[in-house]
Amino acid sequence: MYRWPVRSIVLAVASGLLLPFCFPKFDIGLLAWVALIPLHLALDSPSKWRAFRLGWLSGTIGFTGIMAWVVTAMHTYGKVPLLVAYAVLLLLTSYLGLFVALYSAGYVWFRSLIPRYGLFVAPCLWVTLELARTYLFSGLPWSLLGYSQYRQLDVIQIADHLGVYGVSFLLVLVNVAIAELIAWLMPLFRGFVPARLPWELVTTAAILLGLSWAYSTSLIVGEGFQTPKTSLRVGVVQPNVDQSIKWDPAHRDDTLLRYDRLTDTLGGGADLVVWPEAATPFFFEREPEYQLRVLAIANRASAPLLFGSPAVRFDNERRPYLLNSAYLVAPGGTLLGRYDKQHLVPFGEYIPLKSSLLFFLDKLVEGIGDFQAGPGPTVFSFMPRQAQAAGEGDGGRPVKFGVLICYEVIFPDLVRRFAQNGAEFLVTITNDAWFGESSAPMQHFSMVVFRSVENHLAFARAANTGVSGFIDPFGRILDTSPIFTQTAMQAAVPVLQPHTFYSRHGDVFAYGCVLICAVLCLFGLFRTEGPEPDAIAATPV
């Protein structure tokens, strides 16, 4: 392979170009099972450093296609000059591409450490790096490879044990196995060097894929599509308030009238009404006139109202700070609870290192000032009007649910803590207006599917400009709204408290992959070093 560097580059670029097609808007999820094959063929024999560069090239191209919406957010809504927006996009995708670069270098290294069997650890390395991406520098686990399968319900149910990382593991294993099989079938890739059939790798991939399909199918046929014993009518409102006027005081009345009208179209039959993140363009706790108008809407709906609104608090020195909050109010005006967003969006809700290194930057999202993180997960409870189910209702028992605000829903461990605290269904509220008509709103929505599967909890989602909708506890999308439309929709949301393995134990599988990679890395560091693969290949016979 070292004799044809151009071919290696073409193959690496091919994988980079294929990756965006696996996710919305293109949404060709089945492509993810083969998209990484060209990259793995390009990594057939280069040195670790050459593999790193090929992986970086492939990953940067792939993430540029996936994250192209960053330009829309920065230029259209953040008022950043277009060239600067593209430069920031490239900087971000180059950073994300480093994870693919590290994977590629590790792939070559592991194969050299344990010839023939080192590749079994390659999916563990991919998962390890996805886990690192989830937490490093505040975390950006956007469009992990497993998310490409959000529509493949007959495969992804393993997430209730392994999380989204388990699906990523399976995808990478299948890609590696097929790449090795192709390399064996086409000796040209290895310079006509005789090779053994990689039957162990192919067999393992086929068995694990079959087990995943069998488990997923048995679950959704046996439980997932049956009528739930208990459910609630949840209504979500999508007001489609333009981001450019959202915080303009002159449009407050029009905004509230829009919410009032859309809530009224739900017909008063909902057990819970949900408005999006930052629905009120004012401080709910500090604007008595507008507060009364919101409570009046809840009264007319005859149901608890959940909505987003900023809150002001003061530290020990009486300095004010802001919280991105969700309030739950009863029809009679009683405040049933407030949740403060824990995981804030860097450069959207606050500027990291603003007091020192990044003092010259401002937030990309226009509106009010910087926010601070809330204390932790809060589970709300309320008394439903009546359980809408095929059998008996739940009597007078209150129902518990958790709320995720915007970006928080892409963090698996954060969501599972709500399930661990007793939530029986989940709600996410967001304002995706600053994504524009890009692929991001549907990418954001697709990740919610996995949070449902991981915890076997239904989700209701209210987004200012869409996508709003409902997902059942096994990841089936019950209903969605078009983006940039005004609408109100409602659905029967199953109420469960299943306590899946994932909701109880979290990312045990992912950390197991980290441990396996750590052991192999230690083995590699302490063994006697040999020459790089290129040096071996170049040695005359």
Q: Is the pLDDT reported for residue 164 higher than 90?
A: yes
* Residue-level pLDDT at 364: 53
The answer to whether position 153 is within a domain reads: yes
Q: Is the pLDDT reported for residue 359 higher than 60?
A: no
Q: Is 490 helix (H, G, I), strand (E, B) or coil?
A: strand
Tell me the average pLDDT of the chain: 89
Stretch 106-132: mean pLDDT: 95
Stretch 318-346: mean pLDDT: 91
**Rounded Cα–Cα distance for residues 254 and 252 (Å):** 6
Phi, psi of 490 (to 5 degrees): -140, 155
- The reply to whether 517 and 428 lie within a common domain is no
- Of 124, 130, 363, 406, the active-site residue reads 406
C-alpha distances in Å from residue 427, one per residue of 330, 386, 458, 467, 470: 17, 19, 8, 14, 9
- The reply to whether 209 and 280 lie within a common domain is no
For residue 467, say if its preceding peptide bond is cis, omega within 30 degrees of 0. Answer: yes
- The reply to whether 413 and 524 lie within a common domain is no
* Residue-level pLDDT at 1: 42
The answer to whether position 56 is within a domain reads: yes
* Residue-level pLDDT at 244: 83
User: Is residue 406 among the annotated active site residues?
Assistant: yes
- The reply to whether 220 and 246 lie within a common domain is no
* Residue-level pLDDT at 536: 40
* Residue-level pLDDT at 372: 87
User: Is residue 517 among the annotated active site residues?
Assistant: no
* Residue-level pLDDT at 78: 77
Q: Is the pLDDT reported for residue 368 higher than 80?
A: no
Stretch 154-170: mean pLDDT: 98
Percent of the chain past pLDDT 70, that is, above it, reads: 87
Higher pLDDT, 102 or 536: 102
pTM of the complete model: 0.92
What is 289-339 written as a DSSP string?
A: HHHHHHHHHHHHHTS-EEEEEEEEEE-TT--EEEEEEEEEE-TTS-EEEEE
- The reply to whether 64 and 211 lie within a common domain is yes
Q: Is the pLDDT reported for residue 184 higher than 70?
A: yes
Q: Please name which of 463, 397, 478 lies closest in space to residue 427, comparing C-alpha atoms.
A: 463
pLDDT band at 505 (very low <50, low <70, confident <90, very high): very high
Lowest mean pLDDT among 178-192, 388-402, 476-490: 388-402
Q: Is the pLDDT reported for residue 223 higher than 70?
A: no
The answer to whether position 243 is within a domain reads: yes
Lowest mean pLDDT among 41-50, 192-201, 287-296, 424-433: 192-201
- The reply to whether 206 and 320 lie within a common domain is no
The answer to whether position 206 is within a domain reads: yes
**Rounded Cα–Cα distance for residues 469 and 481 (Å):** 6
pLDDT band at 537 (very low <50, low <70, confident <90, very high): very low
Residue 17, Cβ density class (10 Å: 0-12 exposed, 13-18 middle, ≥19 buried): middle
- Of 341, 363, 454, 513, the active-site residue reads 341
Q: Is the pLDDT reported for residue 162 higher than 80?
A: yes
* Residue-level pLDDT at 528: 55
Q: Is the pLDDT reported for residue 101 higher than 60?
A: yes
Q: Is the pLDDT reported for residue 349 higher than 70?
A: no
The answer to whether position 540 is within a domain reads: no
Q: At what angle do helices 440-455 and 159-185 cross, to 10 degrees?
A: 120
Q: Please name which of 48, 21, 25 lies closest in space to residue 36, comparing C-alpha atoms.
A: 21
Stretch 383-391: mean pLDDT: 58
Q: Is the pLDDT reported for residue 498 higher than 50?
A: yes
- The reply to whether 216 and 246 lie within a common domain is no
In the block, residue with structure tokens 């509106």: 367
pLDDT band at 392 (very low <50, low <70, confident <90, very high): very low
In the sheet that holds 272-274, the strands lie side by side as 335-340, 320-329, 305-314, 272-274, 231-238, 487-494
Percent of the chain past pLDDT 90, that is, above it, reads: 72
- The reply to whether 139 and 41 lie within a common domain is yes
CA-based max dimension of the chain: 88
- The reply to whether 145 and 266 lie within a common domain is no
Q: Is the pLDDT reported for residue 394 higher than 50?
A: no
- The reply to whether 198 and 326 lie within a common domain is no
Domain span at residue 295?
231-495
The answer to whether position 541 is within a domain reads: no
* Residue-level pLDDT at 189: 58
**Rounded Cα–Cα distance for residues 69 and 57 (Å):** 20
**What's the structural domain count of the chain?**
2
- The reply to whether 347 and 375 lie within a common domain is yes
User: Is residue 289 among the annotated active site residues?
Assistant: no
C-alpha distances in Å from residue 408, one per residue of 7, 120, 146: 41, 33, 18
C-alpha distances in Å from residue 286, one per residue of 235, 281, 292, 435: 27, 12, 11, 30
The answer to whether position 500 is within a domain reads: no
pLDDT band at 523 (very low <50, low <70, confident <90, very high): very high
Q: Is the pLDDT reported for residue 287 higher than 60?
A: yes
- The reply to whether 107 and 239 lie within a common domain is no
The answer to whether position 538 is within a domain reads: no
pLDDT band at 4 (very low <50, low <70, confident <90, very high): low
Q: Is the pLDDT reported for residue 317 higher than 90?
A: no
Stretch 98-110: mean pLDDT: 97
Give residues with Cβ within 8 angstroms of 49, minimum separation 6: 105
Stretch 92-106: mean pLDDT: 97
**What is the CATH classification number for the domain harbouring 259?**
3.60.110.10
